[in-house]
């Protein structure tokens, strides 16, 4: 049985979120939660919310499942749309500021 959770338009760049996602790929659910709670990065907090959602989806699909049976089968961090803003610079110029977003997909499974 697999359970998925999507988070879209998350305000962290995909490259920064991927560094966090690589730490929990293939880990059991309780251990992955502990890893994310200990990490200081902003992406860890955002991925933790998605991981909780995937765990809740698994409980909804199969109420008698135990958290220790679940593991992170797949975690994907894709690039989302970029917000483009301008910042005033010297001599009447402006430079573009790119506020990057990402989309997170987590798949939990209890099958080996």
Instruction: List the domains of the chain with CATH numbers.
Output: 2-109 (3.90.470.10)
Looking at residue 42, its pLDDT comes to 96
**Is the CA virtual torsion 69, 112, 104, 57 positive or negative?**
negative
Q: Is the pLDDT of residue 112 over 70?
A: no
Residue 4: CB partners within 8 Å, gap ≥ 6?
Answer: 54, 57, 105, 106, 107, 108
Mean pLDDT of 48-75: 95
Average pLDDT value over all residues in the chain: 96
Look at residue 37 and tell me whether its pLDDT is greater than 80: yes
In terms of pTM, does the model score above 0.95?
no
Cα–Cα distance, 61 to 64 (Å, whole number) = 9
């Amino acid at each position: 049985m697999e359970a998925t959770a999507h988070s879209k338009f998350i305000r962290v760049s995909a490259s920064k979120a991927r560094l966090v996602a690589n730490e929990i790929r293939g880990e059991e659910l309780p251990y992955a939660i502990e890893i994310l709670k200990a990490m200081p990065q902003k992406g860890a907090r955002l991925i933790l919310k998605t991981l909780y959602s995937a765990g809740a989806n698994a409980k909804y699909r199969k109420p008698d499942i135990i958290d220790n049976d679940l593991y992170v089968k797949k975690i994907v961090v894709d690039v989302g749309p970029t917000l483009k803003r301008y910042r005033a610079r010297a001599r009447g110029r402006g430079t573009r500021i790119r506020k990057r977003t990402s989309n997170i997909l987590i798949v939990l499974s209890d099958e080996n």
